[in-house]
Each structure stands twice: as C-alpha cells, then as structure tokens.
C-alpha cells in the first residue's frame, strides 16, 4: 500500500471540484512531479500528512510561521480572540496595537493600513502611488513577484523601452501597457525608462531582497540608485517586503541596507500565520487614502481581530526571545551544514537571514536570467526523494526555504544529511 494513500485519495477527489485540485498553483507539485501530500497538522518545525508521514518543514507556510507550527502563545491569542467573535467589520483595539508596533519597529513608516493579503497590499500601494503623483506608469523588475493583480502579471518585451505584455490569460493588454519591466542589478535599464517616460512614472517597485524567483541578493549600490533616481524625478520608491519584512530583522531590508523607501508593503509574519497584509509610508502619502483623500481602498476583513491578535503575539515572542539573533545563528548553522554535505557537488547555498536557497550552479545569480535551467531541473528532480526521506521543501527550484525558531540544530543536521544523500544518490 502506498505511504501516500490518503493523500492520493484526497487529490483524486480534489481535482473533481477544485481547478487542478489545488487553491494555489504551486501546491499542485507540477514543477517537481508527483502528487502533493495533504497536510493534517503541524507541530513545531514538522508537518504531518493525512497518512501520518512526518516531515521537517522548510516551507513554513511560505514564510509567516517564523515561530514554527502551533506555537502555544499564538494559539492562545487566536483562541481567546475568536471566542469573542471572529469578525466585526468594525474597528478594534487590536488593529491599533499592531499598527503602533509595526510603526514603532519600522523607522520609515509613519502610518500603516492593514489588508488581507500581500497581493492586496501591493495593489493598494501602487494605486496610492499613482494617486499621490498623478502619474500612471510603474517600473517593476524581471524576477520580482508582487502578487497576482492584473498590471503586475506582465513580462519584459524585446527591448529596454518595450512595454509589458500580459503573461496571464485574462489580463488586458491596456493594463499591462502601464507596467515597465526593468532588469535587476542593471541601472541602465531603469535610466532608459526614466529618459523616455520621466513625466509618466509614478513609482518603482522592487523586492529589495527578491525571493520569489530564486534568492537574488542585490547590491546596496543598486538599491541606493533606485532611491536617488526616483527622488530626483519625483517618483515614489516602493519596497515590497511581504517576504522580507519582519523576517530578516525588525526593519526588514530597508533597515539592513539603510535605505528609506516612500512606501513599504508587508504580510506573512505580521499575521502570525493568519491571512494579512499591510502597506505604509509617510503621513503625507498615506493621508491621500480614503476617508481623508481621494484614493479609495477598503476591505471588510481588513484588520481582522484574529489575524491582528496572531500578529501581535508573534512579534511579542520575537521581541522577548531575541528572535532574530537566534534565527541568524540557526540559519548560518544550516547553511554550513548544507555546504558540508554538498561539498564536491556544484551548488550554491544562497542565504539572507533565515531565507535560504539551494541552487545547483557555480555562481549565485543576481538576476532572473542568471538562473540556469539545468540547476532548477536538478532541484526539481531531487524533490520527491527528499520528500520521501522526510524533509519538506518548497515544491519548486525557484522558491526559497525558511528557517523557524522551532528548528533545532539536530533537525538542521538531519535535513542537510537527507539533502546530501539525495544528491549523492543521483
């Protein structure tokens, strides 16, 4: 009998009533092949599927579970809050408390607004940037993912000044025409757009630590260039820190690099595993939002009390337990363990804080076009054997791994050994 019997049965049922059998495409395991395990529960740094198989988890719900699964303080906060009611569509003290905490910890922020997802946060920040500047176009970068709103699902054309083309069905070409695609680590590609569209560009948006298409660590000089050119031409600079915010430190990449963007977007960690997003910036910009200004943004579940409580509890634990210093030690330990196990095999263990990306090529890329297809194919081919050995990695060679405070050095050694064994068994 298959060790994944229950998951296989659930998947057969799922494909009959859910497109592709999943509610988010990467869960389908299309890149790595095979059927996805269906998860029953999480305990600390482990996942347990419906068949009872246990895995050391390096997906951590794609980042937000910085404390691990089912942390008692988070469960208590969720249960106490939900017992009072799960949603009101009205203001609560919890959203004020979390906003105060976020503004206090992230120096560039003066005001913040909560939404329900990272996609919604970015969509709202871009609308705000357009409303504030009175301009329509934005520059984004090939290799940065900012959610699935229409005007961000675009790809580069054939030249620096080529307007974006839709890369998803259902996205009107007119929407994509306002999105300009530049290259990471390439000042010239950005300058060319400003030379041609200087009076039309509302904002430049970037993941300062690009982590959705590999972990493409950028030069500080490049990020500072973006700050300088946007300020010079009265456009806004938006840091999308949905992944890096409250993951690589209290102030995220903005604090690490010492660069102050005009707007920032957040998600993941500040919801403690519950659906949440946020965007914020200077008061003069944020006050353009309704009800004060003419830029409309709303959400019935924005500032949901259960999510606010989970986020507050998460940040309090990180604060009380010197969480980021501990995470740095654990992540550095895991990086060294992986390097040791993969010695003699062409690989790079790229790391930024608790974000880790193993890529099977000689040089660590800074741009999407620097990722070798063979390296991704190799990761994808190894995924099932690593899963079968009890280590749960994100099901795509382009996705990063996450370390949590629930991981122990023993678990990290075990996971590194499993990955090493799979590579050596090829």
In tens digits, what is the pLDDT along the chain, a chain of 426 residues? 589 999 999 999 999 999 999 998 888 898 898 889 999 999 999 999 999 999 999 999 999 999 999 999 999 999 999 999 999 999 999 999 999 999 999 998 999 999 999 999 999 999 999 999 999 999 999 988 888 776 676 653 223 223 344 456 777 777 778 899 999 999 999 999 999 999 999 999 999 999 989 999 999 999 999 999 999 999 999 999 999 999 999 999 999 999 999 999 999 999 999 999 999 999 999 999 999 999 999 999 999 999 999 999 999 999 999 999 999 999 999 999 999 999 999 999 999 999 999 999 999 999 999 999 999 999 999 999 999 999 999 999 999 999 999 999 999 999 999 999 999 988
Q: Which of 301, 319, 337 is the last residue of a domain?
A: 319
Domain ranges, residue 396: 5-70+322-424
Q: Which residues pair with 290 in a beta bridge?
A: none
In this structure, are 63 and 85 located in the same domain?
A: no
What are the structure tokens assigned to 14, written together? 């799922």
Q: Is 422 exposed, middle or buried (0-12, 13-18, 19+ CB in 10 A)?
A: buried
Report the C-alpha gap between 352 and 216 in whole angstroms.
10
My answer on whether 166 and 284 are in the same domain is: yes
49: CATH: 3.90.1150.10
Neighbours of 304 (CB within 10 A): 25
113 with 189, same domain: the answer is yes
Domain boundary among 319, 348, 377: 319
- Owner of token pair 């041609």: 196
Residue 355 pairs with which residues in a beta bridge? 352, 402
Question: Nearest-CA neighbor of 107 among 220, 313, 277, 245?
Answer: 245
Same domain (yes/no): 58, 199: no
Same domain, 40 and 84: no
- CA dihedral for 123, 128, 134, 139, sign (positive or negative): negative
Q: What is the CATH number of the domain that holds 158?
A: 3.40.640.10
**b/e burial code for range 327-339 (CB count within 10 A of at least 16 → b):** bbebbebbbebbe
CA-to-CA distance for 323 and 360, rounded, in angstroms? 30
As annotated, the active-site residues are 145, 240, 268
Domain boundary among 319, 341, 363: 319
In what side-by-side order are the strands of the sheet with 263-267? 111-115, 277-281, 263-267, 236-240, 201-206, 137-142, 179-183
Considering only CA atoms, give the Rg of the chain: 21
Domain check: are 192 and 220 in the same one? yes
341 and 266 inside one domain:
no
Same domain, 76 and 61: no
Tokens 């290799």 identify what position? 143
Say yes or no: 112 and 233 in one domain: yes
Assign residue 373 a region (left: φ > 0; alpha: ψ between -120 and 50; beta: otherwise). alpha
Say if residues 401 and 357 touch (Cβ distance below 8 Å). yes
How many angstroms separate the CA atoms of 244 and 207, rounded? 8
CA dist 388 and 154 (Å) reads 36
Structure token pair of residue 229: 């050119």
Q: Is the same domain home to 335 and 308?
A: no
Burial class (CB in 10 A: 0-12, 13-18, 19+), 150: middle
Bridge partners (DSSP) listed for residue 263: 238, 281
Same domain, 254 and 120: yes
Q: How many Å apart are CA 392 and CA 386, to the nearest integer? A: 7
For tokens 């099932």, what's the residue?
384
pTM over 0.75: yes
If one counts the domains in the chain, the total is 2
Does one domain contain both 354 and 397?
Answer: yes
């Amino acid at each position: 009998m298959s060790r994944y019997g229950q998951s296989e049965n659930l998947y057969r049922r799922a494909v009959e009533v859910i497109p592709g059998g999943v509610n988010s495409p990467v869960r389908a395991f299309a890149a790595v092949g095979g059927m996805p395990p269906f998860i029953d529960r999480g305990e600390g740094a482990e996942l347990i599927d419906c068949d009872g198989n246990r895995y050391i988890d390096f997906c951590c719900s794609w980042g937000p579970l910085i404390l691990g699964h089912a942390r008692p303080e988070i469960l208590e906060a969720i249960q106490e809050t939900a017992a009072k009611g799960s949603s009101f569509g009205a203001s609560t003290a919890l959203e004020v408390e979390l906003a105060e905490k976020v503004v206090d910890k992230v120096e560039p922020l003066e005001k913040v607004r909560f939404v329900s997802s990272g996609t919604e946060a970015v969509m709202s920040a871009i609308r705000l940037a357009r409303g504030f500047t009175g301009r329509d176009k934005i520059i984004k970068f090939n290799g940065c993912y900012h959610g699935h709103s229409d005007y961000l699902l675009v790809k580069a054309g054939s030249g620096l000044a080529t307007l974006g083309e839709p890369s998803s069905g259902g996205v009107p070409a007119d929407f994509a025409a306002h999105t300009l695609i530049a290259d990471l680590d390439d000042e010239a590609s950005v300058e060319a757009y400003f030379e041609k569209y200087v009076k039309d560009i509302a904002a430049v948006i970037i993941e300062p630590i690009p982590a959705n298409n590999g972990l493409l660590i950028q030069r500080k000089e490049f990020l500072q260039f973006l700050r300088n050119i946007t300020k010079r031409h009265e456009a806004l600079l938006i840091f999308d820190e949905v992944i890096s915010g409250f993951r690589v430190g209290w102030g995220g990449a903005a604090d690490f690099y010492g660069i102050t963007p005009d707007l920032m977007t957040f998600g993941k960690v500040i919801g403690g595993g519950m659906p949440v997003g946020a965007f914020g910036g200077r008061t003069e910009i944020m006050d353009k939002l309704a009800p004060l200004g003419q830029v409309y943004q709303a959400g019935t579940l924005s500032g949901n009390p259960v999510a606010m409580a989970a986020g507050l509890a998460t940040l309090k634990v990180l604060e009380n337990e010197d969480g980021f210093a501990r995470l740095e030690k654990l992540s550095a330990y895991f990086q060294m363990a992986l390097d040791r196990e993969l010695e003699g095999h062409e690989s790079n263990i790229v790391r930024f804080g608790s974000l880790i990306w193993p890529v099977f090529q000689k040089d660590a890329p800074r741009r999407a076009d620097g990722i070798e297809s063979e390296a991704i194919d190799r990761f994808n081919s190894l995924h099932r054997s690593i899963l079968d050995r009890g280590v749960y990695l994100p099901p795509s060679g382009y996705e990063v791994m996450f370390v949590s405070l629930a991981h122990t050095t023993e678990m990290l050694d075990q996971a590194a050994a499993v990955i090493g064994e799979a590579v050596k068994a090829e």
